[in-house]
Amino acid sequence: MARVRDGGEPSPCVGYLGFNNRRGIFAGNPPLRKAVSWVVDRTAFAAVAGAYRGSPWTRLLSPVTPGALLAPKKRVYSVRPNFAKAKRLAAGHFRDNHVTIAYYGSGDVRESQAAVIRDDLIRLGFAPENVATQNYYGSICDPLSDPDCGPGTWDISTSMGWCSDYPDAETFLRLVVGKAPWRSGMFFWTLDSAKYRKKLAAANRLVGNARLQALGNLGVEIMRDAAPVVAMRAYNNLFVFSNRVDPRSLVYQPAYTDWSIPALALK
């Protein structure tokens, strides 16, 4: 008889809401971006896909990225909404009060996730008739990577995530602050920030734990002050074991996001 490892184990992947930072209501509007980060219900959003597939998450970097958790007291957002704080931040920053939520996929999960975010934005203060959702599944180009693609424009995407090829914070932070090696160095959620590029370069010149902590702190600072994306959930790896496996032998290796094979033993 097989069993699933309760709750899974974290992977180097984080799911985000991506703001259109090139144009529209969120471009050049960090107070409203931060307000959205405070108003979203990350617990409800993660539950749509299933309790084991992801855990609510508030940080830019994944839980297995070295340096991400070296400053655990520096929490920026919460897994449940803080409506009072969100509304204070959003006041005076709604611009034309219209927002379009983009998502991608043919299944019910993506549509349900977009509905959760729509309800959250209405609670923030957007008029219900001004909050639209648009599924771009089947488009001939990729509108979730390129806001100029597809009919009309959109402001926030629920179908965004990032998985690190290897657990190093600098790799992802370089994309966030505008130094990606493709698409002319820009994604729709890129900050294109000379200030943060300078801070990233300084952190990257350090070595050992000092470098890891500096990169982790920079990830917290970017989310706190600029909020280019909304971290929603950390993805989990699910594992199925025979009941013959001794649970005391399970040693998880975060660097490889897998179990230590030499440590596994039967009862």
- The tens digit of pLDDT for each residue in 80-116 reads 999 999 999 999 999 999 999 988 877 788 899 999 9
Residue 3 has pLDDT above 70, yes or no: no
pLDDT given at position 116: 95
Nearest CA to 158 among 223, 102, 77?
A: 102
pLDDT given at position 223: 94
What's the token pair of residue 188? Answer: 């729709």
> 96 to each of 116, 121, 127, how far by Cα in Å?
22, 14, 11
DSSP 60: S
- Phi and psi at 112, nearest 5°, equal -65, -40
pLDDT given at position 144: 58
Nearest CA to 144 among 134, 176, 59?
A: 134
Report H helices in the chain. Answer: 30-39, 42-49, 83-90, 108-124, 169-176, 194-204, 208-225
Name the maximum alpha-carbon separation found in the chain: 64
pLDDT given at position 58: 92
pLDDT digits (tens, 9 = 90+) for 214-262: 999 999 999 999 999 999 998 887 777 788 888 888 887 766 667 778 8
pLDDT given at position 208: 92
pLDDT digits (tens, 9 = 90+) for 192-221: 888 999 999 999 999 999 999 999 999 999
pTM of the model: 0.84
What is the spatial distance between Cα 81 and Cα 12, in angstroms, rounded to a whole number?
25
pLDDT digits (tens, 9 = 90+) for 135-190: 877 665 666 566 566 545 789 999 788 887 777 889 889 888 875 444 444 577 88
Residue 56 has pLDDT above 50, yes or no: yes
Q: Could you please report the per-residue DSSP string of 107-151? A: SHHHHHHHHHHHHHHHHHT--GGGEEEEE-TT-SS-TTT-TTSSS
CB 267 within 8 A of CB 246: yes
pLDDT-above-90 percentage for the chain: 42
Highest mean pLDDT among 22-31, 49-58, 148-157, 252-261: 22-31
pLDDT given at position 98: 95
pLDDT confidence band for 127 (50 / 70 / 90): very high
> Which range (60-64, 147-151, 254-258, 263-267) has the least confidence?
147-151
Average confidence score pLDDT of the chain: 83
pLDDT given at position 234: 87
Burial of 193 (0-12, 13-18, 19+ CB in 10 A): middle
What is the spatial distance between Cα 227 and Cα 188, in angstroms, rounded to a whole number?
13
What's the token pair of residue 137? Answer: 């599944």
Domains defined for the chain, CATH in brackets = 2-163+229-259 (3.10.105.10)
What is the spatial distance between Cα 183 and Cα 235, in angstroms, rounded to a whole number?
26
| Structure-model confidence comparison of residues 264 and 199, the more confident one | 199
